Structure 1
């Protein structure tokens, strides 16, 4: 009778967490081999005929130097139609080159290249453009900046890194325009050179952004391109002398600047008595929002999600809210509603539903250091382990309130590549989906909770988790590692319409996976 009761309880638990099958279809390409071991998906575009165009970046390792891109065209069944390899070749005077991003315009693909020309003593940004049927790349210079003017990567001391140094690339949601910002050397003021281009590579904005404050006092959060491609929004976290005197809350202010051909406008807003460690902008047609995690005590321990809504043109603040994590979230995390705070949260992306609700995702990420004593004495060695633990997800309504917040328990760590752990997320309709690998059976925790465990290249089962509009979630294993020749790199997924694409790899052996929801 006791054994029967145990079976009944387990069946009931399985029903609670996996009550519905999650509709999906899976297609795989043929297994293939590349010359280069490491590659990742850089671009996925539908071809308009149920096929897909994919660009993969690759880099050689210790025994196979080189870098470039594989361009591949697949039909609706992931049968390869055409492929082309573009190897990046630099002249003797071209140094420190990198591809900032890829832009598509119909059947034209452009690699946005940024490099230092030692002969001309200038950083040069160019577009390498080709038709995807001919793959005959031609170079067009977009802009150049003198070497002496560009801020190189630097440390300010006390483990503070100037994260916005060099060049940064961003593209708008509709992929109709892209911006490049370059940190300019100026010891007295935070200075950026900002360019905006449309997808035809026409320059729309050429702007010098300057804030009269020392570089280390201005923390560059992000820059976004409006849907219409006419405006840029730059968000910074600024440590001013005035805010330094505050008795409560963060001793800083946030500054959001709109940049257009007419000039710039700036809005300053404070998080009052709260600490908002960082904010991210989300652009809609009729409003602009900034949101992030906040705390009442310290920057690295979080209580909930802060929300600011602004007018996209005037930048007037319409509303601000501080949403504490829900009771359901605390039960997910701790098994019961405990008065605890989160730490080590790393922002992982924003998703927008069809109803213009925002899904805000993060992951508990941290590093541990381990010292290994030499068996013969005389010192030892250090190893580093990177932890990718719980997934934090919250849906924000159009008025800024939390519709739901969930914590998905996960324990994963690696001392090397993180490609097979962490996750990829997307939305379809009003549902939110997460794809994760696990090499172990899903573990049952107290209070009807579950936990996804460690994975590896030797054992990696692909799971999908769905959170419904009311905040309930279910999960399903959609691929068992016994049925695959290669494990799939779940953190490098690329989303196109209702499908998510993954690359699988084992050595030089590779395979493309398409999961359609």
Structure 2
């Protein structure tokens, strides 16, 4: 009876948010059958001509599928890979999907392969990009954690660059390789940030139309760890690497802390955009933007602005937000997922709160004793910051969300930001003004389009109720030519949803 009372109180304190239908045109493809069961998408791209390529992983195989403009499967290839061969990155250009894998035939030997799928000819090839030796069991892409920062394609599509960071026993060694994008021929190879004591942690990579490479990362002064003796133990370094030399540029952080930065090319200028804190690298007080003068290779301007009050209101409600905004309380556990640019040169920085907890699970049954510890992954709130073309913070919003797996995707259409995700059938509007995006214990789910206007105004639009319909994964989606495409779940029978 007490539990029932609590549920009733919770229900009264909230109310169902009035939701409108999405402004996007929604359609679905014809159903198709898979020969091999796999929902693990590792790459998905759509060409300018409307063809879509998808690569999935299935045990010791890669499944390459090609779909035409109407999303009808036209070709499928089942490629066997070695047990010690791992996917490390991918690029898409000239109607070709290039999937990179690292193979470790021996403890100290590494081979980088390129699996190429041509969407026009439907031809598949596997080539050796390079071979190298490492210290035993060391990784070529050791700092690649949340998203692909070790591969970069030039804006004109003529070059691609690969950053590797092999940490040797007695020496830190980092290498940039630049290739001709059409022939995969090596143009130059250059070592950088070599040293015995200092460790460089790669953040982001950019190669321009002249094959100049910019490698951004954090240089630890004494081993790893953000602090040593109570003081900051790192510097942010932007390396400009050419065939002739490497020129490092130190970013003056003064008293602020930065976890990571992303490189964004805005109107042919390099911006280094991220979050900053006044406490430690795991927290966020606001957004920061470093404008780089590439000719003189110097920091032209540095801007940092506190999180807008609206961010706190979206997360905590207007009452609590007033107090937190006044004290400038810092957020924490957010990782950058997407950096998007609109037609006016504005940049959107989208991050998700991620952390891991553990709880003890008791063995089932009256005669069972003991149990085990289980890890729980939390993919919660979303933070959105918009910077204008001058690098100033235009506005900030957040999504009060709860999930246990990667669940959302974003795209810009007509300069409006769309956040696509699954949540409960009815979104809850709390008395403090927050809109909670989560699914209750006994609640069915729905697919939503959270749409942000140019000025930051938000609308929560329902795409479909999932009950009785195909369930789609926004996280595995691709946006091209004003269309967002995502694949449904299912063991063998699948469809695509198209939002345009």
Answer yes or no: same fold by TM over 0.5.
yes
1 CA distance for matches of 2:279 and 2:102?
Answer: 42
Please say if residues 250 and 276 of structure 1, whose CA atoms lie closer than 8 Å, have aligned partners that are also in contact.
Answer: no
TM-superposed deviation, 1:444: 0.7
Stretches of structure 2 lacking an aligned partner (at least 5 in a row): 1-13
Which residue in 1 is equivalent to 2:53? 54
Which residue in 2 is equivalent to 1:198? 180
Stretches of structure 1 lacking an aligned partner (at least 5 in a row): 1-8, 61-65, 155-160
TM-superposed deviation, 1:437: 0.5
1:124 to 106, 111, 129: 111
The answer on 1:504 being equivalent to 2:488 is: yes
After TM superposition, list the pairs within 5 Å mapping 1:139-218 onto structure 2. 139-146=126-133, 148-149=134-135, 152-153=138-139, 163=143, 169-172=150-153, 174=155, 176=157, 177-200=159-182, 201-214=184-197, 217-218=199-200
The secondary structure found in structure 2 opposite 1:329 is: helix
Please say if residues 104 and 199 of structure 1, whose CA atoms lie closer than 8 Å, have aligned partners that are also in contact.
Answer: no
Which residue in 2 is equivalent to 1:288? 270
Higher mean displacement: 492-501 or 400-409: 492-501
Quick one: structure 1 residues 181 and 298, their matched pair in 2 at CA, closer, same or farther if it must change by over 3 Å? closer
Which residue in 2 is equivalent to 1:441? 426
Corresponding pairs, count: 472
2 CA distance for matches of 1:455 and 1:163?
Answer: 36
Which residue in 1 is equivalent to 2:46? 45
Which residue in 2 is equivalent to 1:70? 64
Which residue in 2 is equivalent to 1:410? 401
TM-superposed deviation, 1:171: 2.7
The answer on 1:490 being equivalent to 2:454 is: no
TM-superposed deviation, 1:221: 1.8
1 CA distance for matches of 2:120 and 2:340?
Answer: 33
Which residue in 1 is equivalent to 2:344? 355
Higher mean displacement: 174-183 or 103-112: 103-112
After TM superposition, list the pairs within 5 Å mapping 1:26-41 onto structure 2. 26-34=26-34, 35-40=36-41
Q: Once superposed, what is the RMSD of the aligned Cα atoms?
A: 3.3
1 CA distance for matches of 2:204 and 2:233?
Answer: 20
Which residue in 1 is equivalent to 2:8? none
Quick one: structure 1 residues 138 and 472, their matched pair in 2 at CA, closer, same or farther if it must change by over 3 Å? closer
The secondary structure found in structure 1 opposite 2:389 is: coil
Please say if residues 41 and 494 of structure 1, whose CA atoms lie closer than 8 Å, have aligned partners that are also in contact.
Answer: no
Higher relative contact order (CA 8 A, sep 6+): 2
The answer on 1:473 being equivalent to 2:458 is: yes
Which residue in 2 is equivalent to 1:236? 217
Quick one: structure 1 residues 58 and 28, their matched pair in 2 at CA, closer, same or farther if it must change by over 3 Å? farther
Please say if residues 114 and 128 of structure 2, whose CA atoms lie closer than 8 Å, have aligned partners that are also in contact.
Answer: yes
1:137 to 124, 136, 140: 124
Quick one: structure 1 residues 198 and 499, their matched pair in 2 at CA, closer, same or farther if it must change by over 3 Å? farther
Quick one: structure 1 residues 258 and 141, their matched pair in 2 at CA, closer, same or farther if it must change by over 3 Å? same
Structure 1 length-normalised TM: 0.82
Structure 2 length-normalised TM: 0.84
Please say if residues 39 and 490 of structure 2, whose CA atoms lie closer than 8 Å, have aligned partners that are also in contact.
Answer: no
Quick one: structure 1 residues 101 and 252, their matched pair in 2 at CA, closer, same or farther if it must change by over 3 Å? closer
The answer on 1:274 being equivalent to 2:273 is: no
2 CA distance for matches of 1:59 and 1:292?
Answer: 35
1:317 to 295, 299, 317: 299
Which residue in 2 is equivalent to 1:371? 360
The answer on 1:383 being equivalent to 2:374 is: yes
